[in-house]
Structure 1
Amino acid sequence: MTELTSLWPLFDLSLTTPRLVLRPITDSDIPAAVAAARSGVHDPARNPFSTPWTELPAEELGPNMARWYWRCRGEFTPEKWTLLLGIWHEGEFIGCQDVGATDFGTLKTVSTGSWLKQSVHGRGLGKEMRAAVALYAFDWLKAEVAESEAATWNEASLGVSRSLGYEFNGVTRHSWGDKVTDVQKVRLTPESFKRPDWTLEVRGHEAAAKFLGIN
């Protein structure tokens, strides 16, 4: 273990699927993350994010992303945490999958969100990375519920949810940039999870779980 990972053991965590590697984003990964985001994440006509971070000017996008990564680390505690996992495909950074929780020790519930650069959309990679964090949450962290949400018009995200067995769990209204949008909540349990036909390879879990305060 390096001196840095002894201070921040999450940096040794990695999740490997047949096509992807998911691991926490380090400072040295930020330029690749920014480049992926600048290449385009979605159709400019419709933003799938309630906070329209992708619409920032190019010169502001990088500092904004860096601040978010640093903030998530700086506010990370066993009681409330957001783990930002970079996504690598064939050695290239292509997006981010986050998994987070509040009062996980009591609620055993995680929430997820993600983005992928637009050039790799349509290959099933979004489903594969969401399946990876669901497997990790249920089988390794012993979560009992995984939650997510998407705008009701975002059929790509909701299609991934359906394919993995998420149950639709009500519609609410959110501020969406400067507008209001109906948002579909979704909920997954180990019983409803449509597991993939591959095995998730996990490294660095023991130290990560201790850091998260999970026995």
Structure 2
Amino acid sequence: MSLLPHWPLGGLRLTTPRLELRLPDPDELAALASLAAEGVHDPAVQPFTVAWTDVAPAQRARSVLQYHWRCWGAWQPADWELNLVALRDGVVVGTQGIGARDFAILREVRTGSWLGRQHHGRGLGTEMRAAVLHLAFAGLAARHAVSGAYAHNTASLGVSGKLGYREDGIEHHVVRERAVVLRRLRLTAERWREHRTVPVEIEGLPQCLPWFGLGRAAGRLVGRRRAADARFVP
């Protein structure tokens, strides 16, 4: 029996020149957990507001499993988190998330990601984010995408700059018992179209539209947007 009639998100695929992004199967989720155990960033800095990496390797691995299971179980069309594994030549290199609340009304998504430390510095973070931005803007007809990073997270800020994000204010947080400033970033659909350079293909989306809170009328709009954006040539 197939799970797809009950869980069509399992058939959603995003592909870029070097990567495939999809929901992980059990073996791929285990590989992602092992990748987290091996290390995600320089231990001297903490790029995440929730410092989930400041624990022992086994705890990092377990938290990855529990987070993905929790997001699957809590999925609602009005409040969802889609966490995809990124594979290069069949090897799990990291994870890229995209989520939203009341997306059908607000048309705004947020993103977050991490790569195994051995995969840093190869431009894969840009391709991962470009993939979910294509899903958001071309696939789901989003109007805005938001992100954020601390000043020391130059890699994330660099990806955002290349993809066309603009500054959107600041937030104050406490990380490792110190006050830090988060730089908020925002990308509009118009600026996304102006700055995209990574070709992305989407497979299996129509069956998933209701899961993102999109009905028939929204689906027709998405179809028109997708047809127009398909003409993009980098």
TM-score bin (small chain): over 0.9
Q: Partner residue of 1:42?
A: 41
Q: Partner residue of 1:201?
A: 201
How far apart, CA to CA, are the structure 1 residues paired with 2:128 and 2:204?
Answer: 18
SS at match of 2:210: helix
Q: Is the 8 A contact 1:51 1:177 kept in 2?
A: no
Correspondences of 1:55-70 after superposition (within 5 Å): 55-70=54-69
Q: Partner residue of 1:83?
A: 82
SS at match of 1:53: coil
Q: Is the 8 A contact 2:36 2:57 kept in 1?
A: no
- Count of residues in Structure 1 that have an aligned counterpart in Structure 2: 214
Q: Structure 1's 59 and 18: CA in aligned 2 closer, same or farther, altered over 3 A? A: same
SS at match of 1:173: strand
How far apart, CA to CA, are the structure 2 residues paired with 1:153 and 1:12?
Answer: 37
Correspondences of 1:32-181 after superposition (within 5 Å): 32-181=31-180
Correspondences of 1:176-191 after superposition (within 5 Å): 176-191=175-190
SS at match of 1:41: coil
How far apart, CA to CA, are the structure 2 residues paired with 1:9 and 1:177?
Answer: 39
Q: Is the 8 A contact 2:38 2:57 kept in 1?
A: no
How far apart, CA to CA, are the structure 2 residues paired with 1:142 and 1:177?
Answer: 38
SS at match of 1:122: coil
> After superposition, what is the alpha-carbon deviation per residue over 1:77-132, rounded to whole angstroms, capped at 9, x for unaligned?
00000000100011110100000000001100000000001111111110111111
Deviation at 1:192, TM superposition (A): 1.3
Q: Is the 8 A contact 1:98 1:114 kept in 2?
A: yes
Instruction: Say what the alpha-carbon RMSD is for the aligned residues.
Output: 1.4
How far apart, CA to CA, are the structure 2 residues paired with 1:59 and 1:68?
Answer: 14
How far apart, CA to CA, are the structure 2 residues paired with 1:59 and 1:32?
Answer: 13
Deviation at 1:156, TM superposition (A): 1.1
| Match status 1:10 vs 2:9 | yes
TM-score normalised over the length of structure 1: 0.94
Higher mean displacement: 59-68 or 184-193: 59-68
TM-score normalised over the length of structure 2: 0.87
Gaps of 5+ in 1: none
Q: Is the 8 A contact 1:50 1:177 kept in 2?
A: no
Q: Structure 1's 159 and 204: CA in aligned 2 closer, same or farther, altered over 3 A? A: same
| Match status 1:212 vs 2:206 | no
Q: Partner residue of 1:26?
A: 25
SS at match of 1:33: helix
How far apart, CA to CA, are the structure 1 residues paired with 2:162 and 2:48?
Answer: 21
Query: Which portions of structure 1, spanning 4 or more consecutive aligned residues, are displaced by more than 6 angstroms?
Result: none
Q: Is the 8 A contact 2:130 2:198 kept in 1?
A: no
Deviation at 1:3, TM superposition (A): 2.3
How far apart, CA to CA, are the structure 2 residues paired with 1:94 and 1:37?
Answer: 10
Q: Is the 8 A contact 1:86 1:93 kept in 2?
A: yes
> After superposition, what is the alpha-carbon deviation per residue over 1:12-32, rounded to whole angstroms, capped at 9, x for unaligned?
001000000010123332210
